[in-house]
Amino acid sequence: MSAVVVSGVSKVFSTGKSAKVDALQGIDLAIEPGEFVSLIGPSGCGKSTLLRLIANLTEPTTGSITVNGKPSRQARLDQDYGMAFQQAGLFEWRSVAKNIELPLELKGWDRAKRRARAMEMLDLVKLPDFAHHMPWQLSGGMQQRIAIARALAAHPPLLLMDEPFGALDEMTREHMQAELLRICKETDTTVVFVTHSIPEAVYLSTRVVVMSPRPGRITDIIEVPLGGSRDDDTRETGDFFSKITEVREALRGAEYAVGARGIEDR
Amino acid sequence: MFVVSMALVAAAWEAYKKWGPQDGGEVLGWKILPRAKDRVMPHISDIFSRFTDPLNRASDETVLEVVLKGVWFSFRLVLAGFGMGLVAGMLLAIVMTRFRFAERAVLPYLVVSQTVPLIALAPLVASWGGKLELFGWEWPRWMSSAVLGAFLTFFPIAVGTLRGLQSPTAASLELMDSLAAPWRRTLVTLRFPAAVPYIVPALKLGAAGAVIGVVVSEISTGLRGGIGRLVIEFSQKTTGDPAIVYTAVLGAAFLGLVLAGMVAIADAVFMRNRPKEVDA
């Protein structure tokens, strides 16, 4: 069973009485369990919209989306995915542990079980001593780790991330990327990851989905066969650089190929 | 610091009494300088010693007892008015958050309501006393004063709470959506806690409004028993007893301080564990 299947999806936003924006057109995408798929493209290409459609935070104009074999709405109601945003978005009035427990509270878990899981998640993101800190006492990178712990607290099979490291400095960012790969491997989580950083997409992904704007569509899908164990040395290999070049050229091609329908279906 | 500033105010009072014009003075032809006579500006010591004297020869109650009784009576009205205003303001804010059209329809009326002078409204609301009956429950006279207190309380509470309930970021709201949280759950778990830094300053304004509403309506409707009534009664005695009106004024100020203190405690309780800088 595929983790995510998007078929024939388009999304039209009506901004005024007659003004309409084709945010997405003819999107077909299947994501298998265990994959790490990045959506990359210039701003306005609809990559965040596609993520929100998968999350069922907005409905498609046409087409259908299934998550875990269920319609995306049912998957959302069942909390089949966790979500992380560019801003960590921790609730400042809740302790770190209480923030991680939020999805479990909504699932109706009892207090002891919630706390045990929160501690487990804090170990996973390597911040075991911060359970009783308040979010504003943490650095940006630490807050983002807590946000990931919160997204994964209920052990969802799918993690949706919208530029989660966009607000971090370069050093923290690379460290967080490595941490994210380790966490996903340990928890066996499938990831859909929106970014506009080419090296980030290449370093993290098994596949990079290249998108182009007006109307938003998929122009290229690039496999990244860098293997399962990637570390800081991976960033200095020739394969890494040649993949970066490939994605960059695909992005450039996407910019010029207005009207072209380079959709690779698989 | 408070003690020092109090001492400075007292010193300024006494200094003006000593060197100020006894029968008032003129500035550029305008008669605006107050008279410094004992009849108008009694010594601070006289004001405070008046507290311990009996109210009049026929009474065995001291002025302090009378003033404190008045403060206690008004305090209960203020609490009732504040409570009603708090509930009404918060409910309005919740409805306006839930339904955008409600915000657009109701908010302008709320703003207009605050431009109606309290003094104009007081006789109308006071006239309900003893005349209005709801399901066999008769509208007591004191209720009118409490309602006028609520009238000044609900507005800052409604506006502050509304801003607070609307303060969560789109990402926070999407997070709750992604967790399939129903609206009511989002209200309790996200919107309301996020609103606390906005509600606390609104409580301060609302408490001050409740005190003003109750005292002014007591004065304008002549409701017996409260500190507002004492201000009128005592001010009619100033010819023979100049210090006594200031005891009632100090009583009213004390009432305000008690309310401010209660809100400060609420502030400390609700805002613990919060970052210290909030753009409220």
Cβ contact B273–A93 (<8 Å) = yes
Q: Is residue B91 part of a domain?
A: yes
Residues in chain B: 280
**Which pairing describes strands B137-138 and B133-134: parallel, antiparallel, or unpaired?**
antiparallel
The pLDDT tens digits for B152-185 are 999 999 999 999 999 999 989 999 999 999 999 9
Domain that holds residue B195: 40-270
The edge-to-edge listing of strands for the beta sheet with A70-71 is A20-31, A4-14, A62-67, A70-71
CA-atom Rg of chain B in angstroms: 23
Amino acid at B68: L
Contacts of B185 in chain A (CB under 8 A): 106
Average pLDDT of chain A is 87
Nearest residue on chain A to B191, alpha-carbon basis: A91
Nearest to A94 by CA among B171, B172, B161, B91: B172
Q: Which of B178, B179, B274 sits opposite A92 (nearest CB)?
A: B274
Residue B151 belongs to domain with CATH number: 1.10.3720.10
Rounded distance between C-alpha atoms, residue A232 and residue A56, angstroms: 35
Phi, psi of A23, deg, nearest 5: -75, -40
Q: Is the backbone peptide bond immediately before A213 cis, with ω within 30 degrees of 0? A: no
Measured between alpha carbons, how far is B161 from B91 in angstroms, rounded to an integer?
Answer: 9
Query: Contacts of residue B273 in chain A, CB cutoff 8 Å?
Result: 93, 95, 134
* C-alpha torsion A194→A166→B179→B103, nearest 10: -110
Measured between CB atoms, does B183 come within 8 Å of chain A? no
pLDDT tens digits, B188-218: 999 999 999 999 999 999 999 999 999 888 8
Residue B59 lies in a domain: yes
Query: How close, in Å, is residue A55 to chain B by CA atoms?
Result: 7
pLDDT tens readout for residues B55-89: 777 777 788 888 888 899 999 999 999 999 999 99
Answer whether B172 sits within 8 Å of A89, measured CB to CB.
Answer: yes
Domain count, chain B: 1
Domains by residue range for chain A, with CATH = 1-80+158-266 (3.40.50.300), 90-155 (no CATH)
Considering only CA atoms, which of B251, B190, B207 is closest in space to residue B89?
B207
Rounded-to-integer distance, Cα A238 and Cα B65, Å: 90
Buried b / exposed e along B51-83 (16+ C-beta atoms within 10 A)? beeebeeeeeeebbebbbbbbebbbebbbbbbe
Dihedral angle computed from the Cα positions of residues A60, A206, A76 and A180, in that order, rounded to the nearest 10 degrees: -130
The token pair at B67 is 């003033």
The nearest alpha carbon in chain A to B182 belongs to A106
Determine the residue type at B177.
D
SS3 content of chain B, % helix, strand, coil (to 5): 70, 5, 25
Supply the pLDDT for residue B280. 46
Optimal mutation site among B173, B174, B177, B178, interface A, most CBs of chain A within 10 A: B178
Residue of B nearest to A53 (CA): B178
Q: Is residue B209 part of a domain?
A: yes
Q: What integer pLDDT is reported at residue A259 of this predicted model?
A: 44
pLDDT digits (tens, 9 = 90+) for A176-214: 899 899 888 888 899 999 998 999 999 999 999 999 887
User: Mean pLDDT for each 10-residue chunk of chain A (266 residues)?
Assistant: 89 78 88 92 87 92 91 91 90 93 93 93 89 90 92 92 88 88 89 92 92 87 82 82 88 63 38
Q: Is residue B4 part of a domain?
A: no
Residue B130: pLDDT band (50, 70, 90) is low
End-to-end CA, chain A: 14
Q: Does residue B207 lie in a domain region? A: yes
Q: How far is B275 from chain A (nearest CA, A)?
A: 7
- Nearest chain A Cα distance for residue B272, angstroms: 9
User: Distance between CA atoms of B30 and B174, rounded to whole angstroms?
Assistant: 64
State the SS3 of chain A. CCCEEEEEEEEEEECCCCCEEEEEEEEEEEECCCCEEEEECCCCCCHHHHHHHHCCCCCCCEEEEEECCEEHHHHHHCCCEEEECCCCCCCCCCCHHHHHHHHHHHHCCCHHHHHHHHHHHHHHCCCHHHCCCCHHHCCHHHHHHHHHHHHHCCCCCEEEEECCCCCCCHHHHHHHHHHHHHHHHHHCCEEEEEECCHHHHHHHCCEEEEEECCCCEEEEEEECCCCCCCCHHHHHCHHHHHHHHHHHHHHHHHHHCCCCCCCCCC
Task: Give domain status of residue B30, yes or no.
Answer: no
**Mutation target vs A (from B175, B190, B273, B274; most A CBs, 10 A cutoff):** B175
Please report whether residue B122 resides in a domain.
yes
**Which structure tokens are listed for A206?**
């098994």
Q: Between chains, do B193 and A91 touch, taking CB under 8 Å as contact?
A: yes
Distance from CA of B99 to the nearest CA of A (A): 20
Give the pair of three-digit tokens for residue A145: 């780790």
Q: Tell me the pLDDT tens digit for each residue of B135-145.
A: 777 777 788 88
The answer to whether the CB atoms of B179 and A79 lie below 8 A apart is yes
In a domain, B23, yes or no: no
Is the separation of the CB atoms in B158 and B90 below 8 Å? yes
